[in-house]
């Protein structure tokens, strides 16, 4: 299984350098009790990152996820603020709202762009501060105080909605003290490989199937696909392919997928990834295109062509050079175990230019929290 960008949350599977920087910044922002705005297309992992930030913040309360688009306008005030008994027809008992239940925790407003202007104005009055927020239940007279951290997500540019008069500028500025933009999966080819391996292993176990390998043709199709639905679409495609495999199948092949027939309205199709680039991407994850073995070791070197071995060796050397020949840091960047990297170094006969190898996690460099 792929290693994660942090030990805080095992669900964060990242290999792309841009995404690793986003996760690193999320860790920097996590301890500070200020709102975070997460932007990006649907399915890019905004809720997973929100949970990552919540867990990294060490807040003891729960993360309360609120899908704004799923709550009707007539109920949203009661759902968020709560209500007192008899405050409206059907209110047979007092009820705590989601903001009250999130005390000492985090509130995640998913699809904040779908919130109506009248409720935006009500929420603005509540969040005119940081940390301890005050509000009243529907039909109530006493103030409720709740200490929670706010994280919002939107797949639509809020700046455009402001110019259209559909989102309050003051609320926007309060919600984006820290801001992180998640790029679409089509721009994260390394993550396509890492996430495919992660979900393939997970889904095979869930479906009671033996571990499956992936043919080179399938890898080419997966990496070249535009993925309009991003990670959610990738999970669906993998689950369908695994379900279609007979018990005697050990390798996923093009006939198990509809990669060419499933049409995407947006964005347009990408160009096919060339073989050298494809082999480089797979080599970085320790995958042999010829044998389709998972993490490479001495056995997985058998059956490779000279070109494939050379491609993997060059990929590892490039990663080692980038990380100053530090084995721990390089293994983390590649998403593989240190023991696996050491085996590959020995098998591929990679020699450090100074004749020695650095080990141990390097000191964290200071990064400005500005976006």
Task: Name, in order, each residue with C-beta under 8 angstroms of 268's C-beta and a sequence gap of 6 or more.
Answer: 226
Provide the percentage of residues in the chain whose pLDDT is more than 90: 37
* Residues 161-206: tens digit of each pLDDT: 999 999 999 999 999 999 999 999 999 999 999 899 899 999 999 9
Decide if 17-182 and 185-273 have a common fold.
no
Tell me the CATH number of domain 17-182, given options 2.40.50.1020, 3.30.565.10, 3.40.50.300, 1.10.1200.10: 3.40.50.300
pTM: 0.73
Tell me the CATH number of domain 185-273, given options 3.65.10.10, 1.10.8.60, 3.30.70.3040, 1.10.3720.10: 1.10.8.60
* Residues 260-288: tens digit of each pLDDT: 554 444 554 455 555 567 767 776 656 65
Cis before 279? omega within 30: no
Residue 1: pLDDT band with limits 50, 70, 90? very low
Rounded mean pLDDT of 65-92? 82
Domain boundaries defined on the chain: 17-182, 185-273, 280-362
| C-alpha separations of 164 from 42, 158, 169, 181, 184 in Å | 21, 10, 11, 22, 25
pLDDT at 221: 87
In whole angstroms, what is the distance from residue 193 CA to residue 299 CA? 21
* Residues 128-152: tens digit of each pLDDT: 766 678 888 888 888 888 999 999 9
Task: Name, in order, each residue with C-beta under 8 angstroms of 210's C-beta and a sequence gap of 6 or more.
Answer: 204, 247, 250
Rounded mean pLDDT of 303-329? 74
Say which range, 113-122, 154-163, 339-348, has the weakest mean pLDDT: 339-348
pLDDT at 317: 81
pLDDT at 184: 96
pLDDT at 271: 55
In whole angstroms, what is the distance from residue 300 CA to residue 172 CA? 52
Rounded mean pLDDT of 16-23? 92
């Amino acid at each position: 299984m792929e290693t994660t960008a942090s030990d805080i949350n095992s669900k964060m599977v990242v290999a792309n350098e841009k995404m690793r920087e986003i996760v690193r910044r999320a860790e920097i922002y996590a301890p500070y009790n200020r709102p975070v705005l997460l932007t990006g297309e649907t399915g890019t992992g905004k809720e997973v990152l929100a949970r990552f930030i919540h867990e990294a913040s060490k807040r003891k309360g729960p993360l309360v996820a609120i899908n704004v688009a799923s709550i009707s306008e007539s109920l949203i005030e009661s759902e968020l603020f709560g209500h007192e008994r008899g405050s409206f027809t059907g209110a047979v008992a007092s009820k705590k709202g989601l903001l009250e239940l999130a005390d000492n925790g985090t509130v995640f407003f998913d699809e904040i762009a779908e919130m109506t202007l009248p409720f935006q104005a009500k929420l603005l009055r509540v969040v005119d501060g940081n940390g301890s927020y005050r509000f009243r239940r529907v039909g109530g007279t006493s103030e409720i105080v709740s200490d929670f951290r706010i994280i919002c997500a939107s797949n639509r540019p809020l700046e455009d909605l402001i110019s259209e008069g559909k989102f309050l500028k003051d609320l926007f500025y309060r919600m984006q003290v820290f801001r992180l933009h998640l790029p679409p999966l089509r721009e994260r080819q390394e993550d396509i490989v890492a996430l495919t391996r992660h979900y393939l292993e997970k889904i095979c176990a869930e479906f009671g199937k033996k571990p499956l390998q992936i043919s080179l043709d399938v890898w080419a199709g997966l990496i070249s696909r535009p993925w309009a639905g991003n990670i959610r679409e990738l999970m669906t495609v993998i689950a369908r392919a695994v379900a279609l495999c007979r018990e005697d199948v050990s390798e996923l092949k093009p006939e198990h997928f509809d990669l060419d027939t499933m049409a995407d309205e947006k964005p347009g199709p990408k160009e096919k990834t060339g073989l050298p680039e494809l082999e480089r991407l797979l080599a970085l994850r320790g995958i042999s295109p010829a044998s389709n073995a998972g993490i490479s070791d001495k056995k997985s070197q058998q059956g490779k062509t000279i070109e494939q071995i050379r491609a993997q060796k060059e990929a590892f050397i490039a990663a080692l050079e980038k990380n100053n020949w530090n084995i721990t840091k390089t293994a983390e960047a590649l998403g593989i175990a240190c023991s696996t990297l050491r085996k590959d170094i020995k098998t591929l006969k990679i020699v450090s230019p100074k004749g020695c190898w650095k080990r141990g996690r390097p000191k964290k460099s200071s990064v400005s929290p500005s976006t």
